[in-house]
Amino acid sequence: MFTLNENYLKLPGSYLFTNIARKVAEYQKNHPQADIIRLGIGDVTQPLCPAVIKALHEAVDEMGDAATFRGYAPDLGYEFLRTKMAENDYQKRGCDIKADEVFISDGAKSDSANIQEIFGRDSKIAVCDPVYPVYVDSNVMAGRTGDYDENTQTWSNVIYMPCLAENGFAPQIPDEEHTPELIYLCFPNNPTGEVLKKSQLQEWVDYANKVGAVIIFDAAYESYISDPEIPHSIYECEGARTCAIELRSFSKNAGFTGLRLGATIIPHDLKCHKEIMGKKDVELHSLWSRRHGTKYNGAPYIVQRAGEAVYSKEGEEQIKEQVSTYMKNATFLYNGLKDAGYEVYGGKNSPYVWLRTPDNMTSWEFFDLLLDKANVVGTPGSGFGPSGEHYFRLTAFGSYENSVRAMERIKNL
């Protein structure tokens, strides 16, 4: 008789956004006339920019010609896209990242879940709290997190770093009794929308190098940064090449949620110095390359050509305009909630607005109230971790018109 990976049975309930979709579907079924405004899942709504559409059409035409047809993509991505990313996202910012250190993938979500595979099962992880659920859930599936406590909603072998209003929603370096091997950081942060200054991020890089930990840095929202004091990449910090892996996404900056494209950056300098199976100073780059070649067939050629167009002069200008549109929504939501008396955060260098629920309501109670009385969908903060309880996330990825309508309804609650 076959057996199961018992770690999957440890996962509490369904994935957060699956739960939300189910609850909204049930409500819509019972209230077919309800005009629901969705500001929950972080999915973009603007169409792909003209430069990207043009590149897609040209690539499709190439695929229809035997002389220019492409089959399997190179394991690590086409050179034209890896070079563009290295030059524009890193070298122009003074970061020493080369094209061969860029691994093209189908998105940051996949990579953030899969990257843990190259680390030992007994590696202790540290996560911000609240946090993007995939970081924890993927480690649960790998058997790395210990036992789940339903009362505290925490895992016994996970180091939680509370991100609270009193500390500016910035994680604090763990004490000496709790030393992690893997540290997950996401800034601009999902879900709080808050950021770290370069000096704050440098402290984490110094700490990781000191204790021999690896930082997995999710930079999916870096294009929304407008404050010059906020780094767009962890590699802007000195010493990051020896301790950090960075995840990049085309979803939120260029609207590729439906196309799927991302990248993971692993410098050659990042090595495991502990001797394992007679080997020492093993490059993580080589392990991820091996994993990539075995389990992944590459992002489609036409999608990678679309990604290349993001870095064209026209593409950069058009994407900046799209980002500006979403940030206009974020500013409106932030100011509207503030005017309505809510305690609100984020929305300045991020497309997410993080608010405290009124009257000490739980996150799910506020979700139900907002859905039932205002027909507005958001995301309960408790779904991101125990410190997210009594908080709620709204996304600026809707249209401006819907942002205005949603705010009117919230103010009328």
Indicate if 261 and 354 belong to the same structural domain.
no
pLDDT tens digits for 66-75?
999 999 999 8
In order of 107, 135, 139, 208, 364, the CA distances from 182 in angstroms are 21, 11, 11, 9, 30
Residue 15 scores a pLDDT above 80: no
Residue 136 scores a pLDDT above 80: yes
Residue at 97 is within a domain: yes
Indicate if 249 and 395 belong to the same structural domain.
no
Reduce the DSSP state of residue 101 to 3 states and report it.
Answer: helix
Domains of the chain: total = 2
Phi, psi of 358, rounded to the nearest 5 degrees: -75, 155
Residue at 126 is within a domain: yes
Residue at 226 is within a domain: yes
Sign for the CA dihedral angle at 8, 13, 19, 23 comes to positive
Write out the two tokens for 40. 């929950």
d(CA 117, CA 202): 26
Residue at 120 is within a domain: yes
Residue at 54 is within a domain: no
Mean pLDDT score, 176-193: 96
Q: pTM value? A: 0.95
Indicate if 214 and 321 belong to the same structural domain.
no
Indicate if 304 and 345 belong to the same structural domain.
no
Q: Domain end: 309, 336, 362, which one?
A: 309
Indicate if 31 and 84 belong to the same structural domain.
no
- Which residue, 270, 7, 313, 247, is CA-closest to 105? 247
Residue at 246 is within a domain: yes
Q: Domain end: 309, 336, 352, which one?
A: 309
Sign for the CA dihedral angle at 76, 77, 80, 85 comes to negative
What residues pair up with 208 in beta bridges, in sequence order?
Answer: none
Q: Which residues contact 312 (CB under 8 A, 6 or more apart)?
A: 51
Per-residue pLDDT, 401: 96
| Degrees to nearest 5, angle at CA 109 with 107 and 110 | 75
Residue at 262 is within a domain: yes
Indicate if 297 and 373 belong to the same structural domain.
no
Domain that holds residue 220: 79-309
Residue at 49 is within a domain: no
- Which CATH number do you get for residue 199? 3.40.640.10
Contact 329, 403 (CB under 8 A): yes
Indicate if 208 and 232 belong to the same structural domain.
yes
